[in-house]
Amino acid sequence: MQKITPCLWFDTEAEEAARLYASVFKNSKITQMSRYGEAGPRPAGMVLSVIFELEGQQFMALNGGPEFPQTPAISFMVGCKDQEEIDYFWDKLSKGGNPGQCGWLQDRFGISWQIVPDALGELISDPDPEKSTRTMRAML
């Protein structure tokens, strides 16, 4: 197990979300699933947690209930090599969700993503103020 594993809290959509993410990202898979038992706070047999990997990064999805809805205060950045890759991730992750500005979107489960070019940091910190300004304008 890696040292730090993001845990995504869902009401009842943990398995559906994990399956979507594993289908969108290459080198991804679901590695483990656990279910609530008879003594659990949710119905017996309901998915409790799903461990999955996206591009070698481990995540956990947890069906914990409606108490903690998703927030855009936490997001996952997806670096993309070209416009084709940006369009691919944007189309797959924004379907049924809420597209935003500057590469931000919320997927249909409320998870926030930033779909950005790999060179973004380099482009916006360019010492030429005209280049960095053009980059910022293009994003907005």
Complete edge-to-edge strand list for the sheet that includes strand 112-117: 75-80, 112-117, 104-106, 98-99
Strand, coil or helix: what is 81? coil
Same fold, 1-67 and 70-140: no
What is 101-125 written as a DSSP string? STTEEE-TTS-EEEEEETTHHHHHT
Domain ranges of the chain: 1-67, 70-140
Only one residue has tokens 């399956």, namely 19
Residue whose tokens read 């959509």: 13
Domain at 1-67: CATH code: 3.30.720.100
**Rounded distance between C-alpha atoms, residue 127 and residue 70, angstroms:** 37
pLDDT in tens, the chain (140 residues): 689 999 999 999 999 999 999 999 999 999 999 999 998 889 999 999 999 999 999 999 999 999 999 999 999 999 999 999 999 999 999 999 999 998 999 999 999 999 999 876 666 666 666 766 666 566 55
Q: Which CATH class is domain 70-140?
A: alpha beta
Instruction: Note the pTM of the prediction, 2 decimals.
Output: 0.85
